[in-house]
Amino acid sequence: MNPSLSIYDNLGGAETIRRLVEAFYPKVQENPLLGPLFPEDIYPVMEKQYMFLSQFFGGPSLYSDAYGHPMMRARHLPFPVTPERADAWLGCMSAALTEIGIEEQLRELVLKRLSGPAFHFVNTTEE
């Protein structure tokens, strides 16, 4: 890992972000806490996630260019996001990072960077 590069560049750019998203969403769909929150046609969600993660990790501003300011908390308010679901989401992301072969130090950095937003989206304690 090169600390002078963005997370996006350390991960390997667009190709790795795409692989991450493609490894992540099957895990989300299979998760009993998360799967029911997502539409059957997951591909539009995957594309938005690809765009967002690219931008969030220091790559091109794909999400903002297409949709404006991310406002992720507001976009997640219609869904019951519990602390358990935030943990499950991070667990799926951790498994996806491992699956695509991201080294431990970079994997930990990515998860640390994502844990703030994941728990910021919590909006209920009940199912």
> Which pLDDT value is given to residue 100?
98
To the nearest whole number, what is the mean pLDDT of the chain?
93
Tell me what percent of the residues of the chain surpass a pLDDT of 70: 98
Q: Measured in whole angstroms, how far is the alpha carbon of residue 38 from the centre of its chain?
A: 14
Domains, in order of start, for the chain: 13-120 (1.10.490.10)
Tell me how far CA of residue 46 lies from CA of 24, 42, 49, in angstroms.
9, 6, 5
The C-alpha angle 54, 89, 114, rounded to 5 degrees, equals 45
The answer to whether the predicted template modeling score (pTM) of the entire model surpasses 0.85 is: yes
CA distances from 94 to 41, 47, 54, 98 (A): 23, 19, 17, 6
